[in-house]
Structure 1
Amino acid sequence: MIRFDYARPTDLAEALREGAGEEVAYLAGGTNLVDLLKENVARPTRVVDIARLPLTGIEDTAQGGLRLGALATNTETAYDQRVQARYPLLSSALLAGATAQLRNAATNGGNINQRTRCYYFYDVATPCNKREPGQGCAAIGGVSRIHAILGTSHQCIATHPSDMAVALAALKAEVRVTGPGGDRVIAFADYHRLPGDEPWRDTTLEPGELVTAIDLPPESFPTNFTYLKLRERLSYAFALVSVAVAMRLEGERIAEVRIALGGVAHKPWRRPEAEDLLRGQEPGREAFGAAADALLEGARGQGGNDFKVPMARKAILRALEQATAGTPQSQTDKRIA
């Protein structure tokens, strides 16, 4: 049994005081942390339950965007009328993730901070640099079906599991955090990290920092968008490959486009230079293929996940076609449109 101190603050200042120090874990909905505690992967000395903090609101910003409270649930966010009308890409990605019961408990802040679902990370009997630095990575040379094809290092080939994060990357959201050093805002592209030589660090959060909100920008792409998720089964499963596309057309040409991939890297994967190839172009297979090739440049499997490279290319093409036509992937009828 893991023994830890437990605190349940009711205001942000108290939460930050309780969250100071090493080996402290913040608990929100618990849909990830509780699993990690059960599997003996997470061993905090103190758990700070932040469920009572006043961070549940969803409100308009002065800039014309939307601010999502860190403790608003995924269900509340997905079905919020403003999110559905103005940011349907985000709503679609949320509804593609987990089950209804989990979405009812999972929070926005917890979603973007969830840990990888790598088999070896969860198996404490196997080496894992993410779980215990310096042990090695059992996934390299092991069972790699769900693992990364982009942005890997010799220390880690894990993927980030969040669907919500892929949509937020395409929307160019910002993460608002507070901590011992005060408040700061992190561009979503800079929030998650590639493994490099420090695979145990998933994000750029500093010790003791807490996510308070996620800001969505004014440009929302309400018409030409899609979230396409390919998985082992159509019911609850993490993505093998997912694609979020946010597009704006002017006449018969692409004025703006964002493409983010999930299931292929340690963070949501974007390459603005690949998107630049499509701006000003007429939509079509040739242009889409060039962008897909640029986005996937350097992609490499580990044997068991080699199939992800051609799968990702086909998924990018299909997602761009869906977004262009204004026929986004249905998260109710999950068959590929």
Structure 2
Amino acid sequence: MKRFLQWWKGQPVLGISLLAALVSMCFVPPDAGYLSYCNRAVLIQLFCLMLTVAGLRSIGVFEQVTQNLLKRAGTVRRVGMFLVQLCFFSAMLVTNDVALLTFVPLTLLLFQEIGDEKSRIWVIVLETAAANLGSMMTPVGNPQNLYLYAAYQLHTADFFRTMLPAGVLSWLILLGLSFLLPKTPCAGKPVETASSAIPKKPAAVYLLLFLACLLTVFRVLPDWLCLLLTAVLVFLCDKKLFAQADYCLLGTFVCFFVFVGNIARVDVIRDFFAGVMQGRELWVSAALSQCISNVPAAVMLSGFTENANALLLGVNLGGLGTPIASLASLISYQFYSKAVHSRPGKYLGIFSAVNFGMLAILLAVGWLQLRSF
């Protein structure tokens, strides 16, 4: 029981999704219909993307890019701007959690030398928002986009037409907030990590696989071919990468597929959710994301509405707000709370002010945007 509670504490969303799936199975016993629940394409795309990005990280691609960009930074404001922009644009391709796993530890290291605690908190909060908002602008930026893009068979033009206005506005807001950082010289120089030349052959392989992932998401390559290529080439290059995939996230998707599939077969529940969602997709999805995070909210609510644009916008903007609205936000908090001289209470205060402020603005603009469709 102690081990189970420790596991539950470490993976609360997976635990909740598993419990939800098991409860739903009491109402709809397992049968042949279960085979149609899981979206195979989403699971394959997510798994292949995980392995590919892990490969790129393992050979130091992100660290090299970061250090090259930081060489010209000389003030606290410029360092912060560099890091926030890196999180925003890199998250479009490597997902929000990978962006934060890469840049938040570097931020903590840099500001340990700079010695400005207020700016350290401000930069990490903005990095977190930037990763969540930048990732919403592409189908591969986060798991909910991968899922919704495949589940609704969205056209690429429709996706960008929905997400681009919110993305551009969020970038402008983040840029403006970055100017609140002090324009003072860094007390210490940006820390140089030990760097070595990136191995060309593995880099070429991982970049090829990343291209294959993109082509699969955009339905140019079949998902089975992407899985085969990824599995074989990763095994040949570095089979240890298989251990770095987030299998808990994949398990969460499977559990929610089962839960949503089952409750959609219960007439009373299906009618209730369909009625609540009708015309309120943006608000309901953003609100639910605050409680269970935006990935499971996207999977759960997709079974009760055909309004893909409103749901897509709602769960992505819903990643702002509470620390659990996007699981990537917890990555930043965990890193910061374990750092020397951390002040978790102040961090959460600034985090909440920035996130809920941006959420209110972007939801209002998103509502006006959807009305014009």
The structure in which a higher percent of residues are helix is 2
The structure in which a higher percent of residues are strand is 1
Name the TM-score, length of structure 1 as normaliser. 0.26
- Which has more radius of gyration? 2
Name the TM-score, length of structure 2 as normaliser. 0.24
